Structure 1
């Protein structure tokens, strides 16, 4: 009765596709005679064959499980009493052709196809290739497409099995079941197949020993699942696809790894063009480019988008882009109602294989703003020790839910990020999410604050509350490590500050924004400063922390100065000064006066700049702030130079230099050497000016202060030009120009024009030297 139920179900599935028994046999590798006997109910199904039939029929997960259940019910009575079955003979030495149908419209992956083909020439060893990549990367499509391309190189046949290692059913194919299916396809009579796995594997290897067969093991769970299925003959070639790296096979069997990354932009475009036609894409090039980015270059996502566009011919690419813009709904926007190609479902098949600790880490990573994360930041998110965190992150990399693009930095593409964030919302209680977010922000805040003090030891410091329990603060030994940390983490800061403000952690928002300003100023990331300080000002106001608001206004003013937006800088700094005066903060007022002096000087109002410098000095002195006094003295000296009083400028700048050295302010020392160089230049002491400028440059280069380097190089060139040394001037300006270009600084155009004029002068100079007799 069970056999009849299974047979009827199988026949119903086959007829629904309009296939004959021969067609199903050709697609599954199960003989037409066996299918006929199974459908008649005269033979009980073998579970290994059922898997092959289900794959060939392309059943969705629900109907596949129904077919398997019918098969299990049919064979269950065997445990109680034997059932007579009609023997089905398969000819000895059968040539299996089990590859699934060729992939329609396959595009791209030229490098991987070439790499796989190169393995065909290795006939002195057992060749195993493992294609590994994240869910939806197209591993099966690549393996099947390549296998069809080279099938004729394997005249004794091709074996294929979907091992369902990451299947929605959660039931991977057992090695014994897969081997039984292969032995059936190879024509081994059932009576000759031993019961034990080891004996079955030995028989399987014996059957392949003298044959040239391609073996495709698709969707493997891990090394233990595939090892019994590997041929022992060098005449055979095995291709394995998996979300697992299968590192054990690389070590013990010498497997050749073929990592499958996301598609390139060109490959992604070709995929869409192949599915939709180039004409449809040509009309909306920007929308197509946006679609590729929103699909994270993931082949499955691109194929789903193409399917949606095919099903709705009137749907424009721009409308598809609009629907995918909201990252929280992106996965649902890519759902076309088929669980086998539903991204959320496909990702979940990997997620369900994780340990509890790895699953929790994956969820919490959805709270991180990206683009990548360090071990210590991940440890802070989870509140776990770094050693445990490394092991958990390694598990996520192993299952292709994360990648490690550089040592100790982990990331995933945007669609996995959306899935991770969704898992966090669904499975992590809100208090747990907020606690994890606070720990992560504590990591960035406390590390950034310590790093900025290393970059500029005499700098002001914030009164921070201690980090939460479980927070891992990076230990940085010196200013070089601090610069490296800031450089690597810089892309994280703007989003982390936004995330803090959105979560109501306003103190974290403005304090983190303040803690990264020294690095941003020196590295030239001024536009980023404007964005983050605007968020910081609002956050400090919401938090009821006027000191934070004044500090943030002042940093915003400094950013505007560097960008040449002087009216905005003036307004912002005047707001800061008013707040500083209300708070009775002399050092805050002094800093703001210093910055207002820079604004006035930049706009040619040097007398007002001098007054601001003197006000700053008096306020710093009343507060006992020696670092500030040194800065103010240099500002006063610079203002005197701009007013043409260069001897007076030297007097103030020399006092500033002594004080900067005494307090250990290397950046202030560099600034002052630059001011001294300017004063000596305009007093006609060109050699002294050049020496001062070189002293400034040596310090600026050590401090990675890029814009000050460019400014000093320009002034060094001016001094050389004034001294008549045109080649040295040309060299200095040439060094400055790429820095300004890289910073997108408006001074670059003027310097380029000066270099052009100097080039003309140099050509005339060199020509005159050729026609002027040597005095000797």
Structure 2
């Protein structure tokens, strides 16, 4: 190599020494001479794999420059001298693709005329310059071929690396193989096995599971692969690889099927155990085994927040395997995932996808308990998506499967979930409550009694009665549900019952002018908020924050209540609950005006359906807030006599009025939005 460089630098072939050591001296002497003449040299060294390949070639004079390209990271090179070249942006990748095609066929307009397909081609190339050059060469070879055909060809993962090959000179697989062959055996094995884990990235602990190593032992190996640019650490303690490298890793893994199969089974079982332990912490009562996995609810929540995309990807991928063992493991995993995913609104799509996979396994499932549970989850997901007929069918199937297996309390839970759908459809509340009471009896009569299920059904009864405005009737089942949950130390159950009980007490406090009820409601809601918070349940926390904020504002504790309402509003908006968000937004605006006290009176138009139980006249609704000056005449509903609000009125005192033309009629309703929530219950 030095002899060729010396010739390029102007040294006569006859003057070049035969000994490599002497050639190195001649090389540096020639560069020094050129520097003295004011001539600089740029040396470009491509695809170096070891510092020994470029170290001796570094010029002594600062006039000259050396650029070394490599997939490796060399500790001997100072960091300020290193330029990390990241993945190309989409626009840059498309521009490179277009320019490369135009360089071969100047008048080729296929990519320009179809920019969306060009963008898809760049995505399938992972924005990798080598792959883009190969695609441009393939397009140039067939100028009449529609680019959509090449997209279809590359979309097949099984054939993509074969397609991205343009002879020995341009081959994505060959480029990857060059880096792979440089690795020691232990890193080759880890690189192969990383593609076994579905989902696109791998956590530190899971990477250790693949090779039966501790997280402290696997981290240096992962970072060695990062330095070889075969994987990347995209966030702390998680690693991923680009799609083309993942396909290459999968090819290599297929060459060692026994090791790959062992690794996959380990991953499935480990995630099943982790999800099961997390589910008990986050939605149930943890036992000693769960505590060995996660010492606290916060640890379980943090693990699930980080790992649930991988766990769901495992369920969706492994469900396709024909082996009975894998199908049973997937069913169990789907049940555990559903328990947690179903508890938060922003996970609805993932909850639905996992439930669909779980339900597909039910006909051949040996574990009929899990089969009934996953059908309950499937129905719950459909109900939340307002596909009520399909949800009812799923719950009916769940009840049938549970009854056939002698699991009466599970069947009762399915009937309770059917009741939830009936409420959504506007059925009479007394009819629906009978479903809930059947669930209560089934839980009480099971052997042993299923007290958590009983508490959940009682909470549903109270929530449904509260939603119907029958607050006094709702108190007893809600207090009983709370008592059972406290006996069991069921923290999620305490939060769920407390959310409904707090809402009902808040309503009664307004109707009966009972401040003790309001104080009790705030205490219950604060406890529920803390339970949801430590479990990372943003959905439950937002519902509680809404009710808590309402109660605090009713006590004129605006500095506490308005921020809680604003936080709840943000979650409702982000999770797509637009109707609820609209209601809370109106309340926040009203309470802000109440807090400022800057109006003699004002009316804010409200949604009619918010008062469907109290607005008997069916008129349009407005909230009237009175300041302590002036007098306001308002017509009372169902009364011919006007109602005079004399001076002074407590600043911020509020009524809800039905607007009729220019007149107003006062209804007997309380302030809005503290709506009790009735929840699906899907037993574990």
TM-score by length of 1: 0.68
Q: 1:96-495 counterparts in 2 under 5 A?
A: 178-188=1-11, 200-209=23-32, 211=35, 212-250=40-78, 256-276=81-101, 280-336=110-166, 338-384=167-213, 386-425=215-254, 427-429=255-257, 431-458=258-285, 475-495=293-313
- Contact 1:296/1:415 (8 A) holds in 2: yes
Tell me if the contact between 2:553 and 2:591 (Cα under 8 Å) persists in the aligned partners.
Answer: no
Structure-to-structure mapping, 1:61-100, within 5 angstroms: none
Q: How far is 1:662 from its partner?
A: 2.4
Structure 1: how far apart are the matches of 2:148 and 2:594? 54
Separation (CA, whole Å) in 2 of partners of 1:759 and 1:656: 32
Match of 1:739 among 554, 567, 571: 571
Per-residue displacement from partner, 1:544-592 (whole Å, max 9, x unpaired)? 3222211111122232333333333222112111111111113322432
SS at match of 2:598: helix
Could you give the per-residue CA deviations for residues 163-198 of structure 1, whole angstroms, max 9, x where no partner exists?
Answer: xxxxxxxxxxxxxxx333333434456687666655
CA 195–335 in structure 1, closer or farther in 2 if over 3 Å, else same = closer
- Contact 1:522–1:706 (8 Å) recurs in 2: no
Q: In structure 2, do the counterparts of structure 1 residues 385 and 771 end up closer, same or farther at CA, with 3 Å as the change threshold?
A: closer
In 1, the alpha carbon distance for the partners of 2:432 and 2:145 equals 61
| Aligned partner of residue 550 in structure 1, secondary structure | helix
Quick one: structure 1 residues 382 and 643, their matched pair in 2 at CA, closer, same or farther if it must change by over 3 Å?
Answer: same
The partner residue of 1:542 within 359, 364, 371 is: 364
Deviation at 1:453, TM superposition (A): 2.4
Deviation at 1:756, TM superposition (A): 8.9
Deviation of 1:731 after TM superposition, in Å, equals: 4.8
Q: Distance in 1 between matches of 2:538 and 2:425?
A: 22
Distance, in Å, in 1 between the alignment partners of 2:155 and 2:485 is: 52
Q: Does 1:667 align with 2:485?
A: no
C-alpha spacing 1:575/1:287, structure 2 compared with 1 (3 Å): same
Mapped pair 1:693 → 2:525? yes
Deviations 1:132-178 (A, max 9, x none): xxxxxxxxxxxxxxxxxxxxxxxxxxxxxxxxxxxxxxxxxxxxxx3
The equivalent of 1:532 in structure 2 is 354
Counterpart in 2 of 1:557? Answer: 379
Aligned length: 584
Structure 2: tracts of 5 or more residues without a match: 103-107, 602-626, 631-646, 652-684
Q: CA deviation at 1:618?
A: 1.9
Give the Cα–Cα distance (whole angstroms) in 2 for the partners of residues 323 and 650 of structure 1.
64
Cα offset for 1:653?
A: 1.8
- Is contact 2:558–2:591 with CA below 8 Å preserved after alignment? no
Q: 1:289 and 1:550 mapped to 2: Cα distance?
A: 45
Q: Deviations over 1:711-737 (max 9, x none)?
A: 334444555677788898765543222
Contact 1:737 1:751 in 2 (8 A): no
Partner of 2:666: none
Mapped to 2, the partners of 1:690 and 1:345 lie a distance apart of 66
- Compute the RMSD of aligned alpha carbons: 3.4
For 1:595, the equivalent position in structure 2 comes to 417
Tell me how far apart the structure 2 counterparts of residues 459 and 274 of structure 1 sit (CA, whole Å).
60
The structure number with the bigger radius of gyration is: 1
Q: After the TM superposition, which of the residue ranges 553-562 and 203-212 deviates more from structure 2?
A: 203-212
Query: By how many angstroms is 1:235 displaced?
Result: 2.7
Residues 703 and 275 of structure 1: is their aligned pair in 2 closer, same or farther, counting only changes over 3 Å?
Answer: same
The TM-score normalised by the length of structure 2 is 0.77
Q: More displaced, 538-547 or 241-250?
A: 538-547
- CA distance in structure 2 between the aligned counterparts of 1:712 and 1:180, rounded to whole angstroms: 78
Q: Structure 1 527/661 Cα, relative in aligned 2: closer, same or farther at 3 Å?
A: same
Is this contact kept in 2: 1:457–1:664, CA < 8 A? no
Which structure carries more strand by proportion?
A: 2
Compared with structure 1, are the counterparts of its residues 316 and 728 closer, same or farther at alpha carbon in structure 2 (3 Å cutoff)? farther
Task: Map Cα deviations across residues 477-532 of structure 1 (whole Å, 9 max, x no partner).
Answer: 32222222212222223321122122231012111112222331234312111111
| Alignment match, 1:169 | none
Contact kept, 8 Å, 1:693 with 1:712, in 2: the verdict is yes
Asked whether the equivalents of residues 590 and 620 of structure 1 are also in contact (C-alpha less than 8 Å), the reply is yes
Q: Is the 8 A contact 2:276 2:336 kept in 1?
A: yes
Once the 2 structures are TM-superposed, how far is the Cα of residue 538 of structure 1 from its aligned partner? Answer: 2.3
Please identify, of 412-421 and 371-380, the stretch whose mean Cα deviation from structure 2 is larger. 371-380
What secondary structure, in the 3-state scheme, does the structure 1 residue paired with 2:44 have? strand
1:350-383 Cα deviation digits (max 9, x unpaired): 2222222322332223322231012332333344
Moved more, 506-515 or 451-460: 451-460
Cα gap change, 1:693/1:451 in structure 2, threshold over 3 Å: closer, same or farther? closer
SS in 2 for 1:239: strand
5+ residue gaps, structure 1: 1-177, 465-472
Superposed CA offset, 1:314-333 (max 9, x none): 32332222121111111222
Q: For residues 406 and 757 of structure 1, what CA distance do their matches in structure 2 show?
A: 39
Which residue of the partner structure matches residue 153 of structure 1? none
- The 3-state SS of whatever aligns with 1:415 is helix
| Per-residue CA distance 1:5-60 (angstroms, 9 max, x = gap) | xxxxxxxxxxxxxxxxxxxxxxxxxxxxxxxxxxxxxxxxxxxxxxxxxxxxxxxx
Pick which of 381-390 and 537-546 moved more. Answer: 381-390
Asked if 1:507 corresponds to 2:328, the answer is yes
Q: Is the 8 A contact 2:161 2:173 kept in 1?
A: yes
CA distance in 2, matches of 1:718, 1:231: 74
Q: Counterpart of 1:248 in 2: which secondary structure?
A: coil
CA–CA distance in 2 between the matches of 1:746 and 1:676? 25
> C-alpha separation between the residues in 2 aligned to 1:275 and 1:310?
9
- Measured in 2, the distance between the counterparts of 1:756 and 1:459 equals 38
Give the CA deviation at 1:435: 2.5
- Whole-Å separation in 2 of the counterparts to 1:753 and 1:642: 20
Distance 1:771 1:307 in 2: 81
